[in-house]
Amino acid sequence: MNEKVKDILEWGYCIVIALILALLFRYFIATPTIVKQRSMFPTLQENQRLILNRTFRITKKSPERGQIVTFEAPTKTYSKWEADQSNPVAVYDDEPKGIFNKFVYYSLEVTKKSYIKRVIGIAGDHVKIENNKVYINGEEQEENYLRDDVVTESEVFYDFIVPEGYFFAMGDNRTKSTDCREIGCIPLEKLEGFVCFRFWPLSEFGGIE
């Protein structure tokens, strides 16, 4: 093997290793994302850039109330006639088939649709939405991140217990948010990341509450 071929192979190995490390870092540690909708306004606005913390995939940490997270969008939106308050879970019908398709979808996240919302209820919580208020285990929630004109009412899921292995989340801009009130509680395995901080625009660089 001449020196030129050897150099090419060494560079090829280095590139492959670098790509693998980059993918592992992106999947297990952190990755950037862009806000594409107004469902979290005014906390988050369209085209802002965020960093997602993904170390929960290593630590197995579950989301806590008040945290902003991203998760894979379910395939079904319930109507009020379909909702079962005793089984308020999201439906995922379009799972990719085959190793390559799963790699592209889950690792590269190509064509994958995601939602960004705030966690309101965790496993075991009794969630009740009534008179434009949210009650967790009978206690009215103080939600200072909401605007005064936000409407929280729901005709779909409004009085239920969050199942084990799931969480319940809503957008801060609830009047314009498709969230767990219509799609059901999200399984933990569909969680994608915890919003860590905002890095763009620079004028709003920093943590998010």
For residue 117, pLDDT beyond 90? yes
Q: Say how many CA atoms lie within 13 Å of 2 toward its Cβ.
A: 2
pLDDT band at residue 109 using 50, 70 and 90 as cut-offs? confident
The model's confidence at residue 1, banded by pLDDT at 50, 70 and 90, is low
Closest C-alpha among 203, 170, 188 to residue 41: 170
- DSSP secondary structure code for residue 62 in this structure: P
Q: Which residue has the higher pLDDT, 59 or 10?
A: 59
Domains of the chain in sequence order:
31-207 (2.10.109.10)
pLDDT at res. 8:
76
Name the residue among 136, 161, 137 with its Cα closest to residue 86.
Answer: 161
User: What is the reported pLDDT for 111?
Assistant: 83
Tens of pLDDT, residues 14-27:
898 999 899 999 99
Q: 152: closest CA among 170, 127, 125, 126? A: 170
pLDDT digits 0-9 by tens, 134-188: 999 999 999 999 998 899 999 999 999 999 999 999 999 999 999 999 999 999 9
Contact 207, 67 (CB under 8 A): no
| DSSP letters spanning 122-165 | ETT-EEEEETTEEEETTEE---TTS-TT-----SSS-EEEPPTT
Query: For the residues 44-56, what does the mean pLDDT come to?
Result: 95
